[in-house]
Structure 1
């Protein structure tokens, strides 16, 4: 039956997340990446990422201005990104994705051995904005055509 269905199982978050601080986190394109709200300016967001394997890290505003707290080591935005990813996916899964050896009680950022790596923010920010646009669609029983492959949740 599952093979004949156009739906897939949804993996629930390990723990509830703080969407106001980190509204978007994903493990995609060989990176842990996401959008992190600024602590000082409500209208500013940062796109932060850590590459799997190399552990190169990047943090910049959505218009590619570098983060002022990125001085050769991970900034507070990257710390928030990792913390929320652990809540969303679990520490073991995030560590496995980043290809880092970390114990269950280890701080994942302290286990990384990367350096600052320029990563364009536009693709991640664009994906985040596309996800936000779905929140503005009117409620319908038939769903949006471009989302026909999304898993059914049974919640209306």
Structure 2
């Protein structure tokens, strides 16, 4: 039975989907399609120590943007803010415009290539929401980068199924 197992079933690491195009992490170090939202962390253009947590909800196209200490973004207006635009552009680089548009339920033109096209298709409106869970996920990802490379399982991920049957 073990001979039929695929090699990835024998590892404690998940496969990573390659980005649609390479991107620089300085402006948007963290972007994900998760929890029914396009969400991530965007660096401030004016303060090196400040980041913004931006998100766009797929269900109703509401967005929110605030600093990591929950101060609202000063550029919020109908249609988004500069942080949300940067997040959408980087999401398109990471996942491709088709996948981002499908995830946020946007009807974009076939020739659309940017996050701005996705945002224009949904006409986002502001609704305050909690940014802490997104920022916490970002910090958790940073913590994994500090771990030494190993093929051993991580104790905190012991719940994650590594193979076929549950024992």
Q: Is the contact between residue 79 and residue 119 of structure 2 (CA under 8 Å) also seen in structure 1?
A: no
* Matched positions, count: 151
Secondary structure of 2:42's match? strand
- Which residue of 20, 29, 32 maps to 2:35? 29
Deviates more, 1:128-137 or 1:28-37: 128-137
Provide the alpha-carbon RMSD of the alignment: 2.2
Runs (4+) of structure 1 moved beyond 4 Å? 147-151
Match of 2:9 in 1: 5
Match of 1:65 in 2: 71
Give the structure with higher Rg (CA): 2
Deviates more, 1:2-11 or 1:101-110: 2-11
Q: Give structure 2 stretches of 5+ with no counterpart.
A: 163-167
The superposition leaves residues 9-53 of structure 1 with CA deviations (integer Å, 9 ceiling, x where unpaired) of 421100011111101001111100000000110000000000003
TM-score, scaled relative to structure 2 = 0.81
Structure 1: how far apart are the matches of 2:102 and 2:21?
Answer: 18
TM-score, scaled relative to structure 1 = 0.87
Match of 2:48 in 1: 42
Q: Give structure 1 stretches of 5+ with no counterpart.
A: 152-156
Q: Is the contact between residue 79 and residue 123 of structure 2 (CA under 8 Å) also seen in structure 1?
A: no
